[in-house]
Amino acid sequence: MPAPKELEKLGGLFDKVTGRSKPFLDRCAQTKFLAVEDYTKAANEFIQLAKQTLNVEETKVNADCLDKVKNAVKSGQLDGVLVDELRRLRTSYLESVLRPAVKSYLTSEDGTIAEIESLYTNAVRIDGLLECLQFLSRVNQK
């Protein structure tokens, strides 16, 4: 179980990331709402959100996995293949980038919060994209 000091650091991190991620997550929510009215516009908005997220330099994840997602987005392929690739990207990012960084941050006395905030924000964005895409897929099936 984490020590109280580690929990305090983690709580502060969550608060900051929540604030930084809100505008992006709001756009994801608006895209889902738009999908009910106009799927094509929602799909175009999703593609813009995905491009914005996937072009961030700090993504630092398996290049092959990231390339597959970028290619699927570029082609407009909003289907089960992209859902699967985004899931792989999220898993890869959480396991190989975020988890080690958080562990290091919690055990370090002098760790910079800016870097870990950026990494965590990327994770939230990838997850937001996945959730949005899953909703778009359900709407498109009806």
**How does pLDDT run across 6-19, given as a tens digit for each residue?**
666 666 666 667 77
Residue-wise pLDDT for 75-125, tens only, equals 888 888 899 999 999 999 999 988 998 888 878 766 667 788 888 889 999
The Cα 141–Cα 129 span in angstroms is: 18
Share of the chain above pLDDT 70, in %: 81
Distance CA 32, CA 134 (A): 10
Comparison of pLDDT for 43 and 22, the residue scoring more: 43
Q: How many CA atoms lie within 13 A of 37 on its CB side?
A: 6
Identify the domain containing residue 112 by its residue range.
4-141
Instruction: Quote the tokens at residue 12.
Output: 């502060």
Q: How many domains are there within the chain?
A: 1
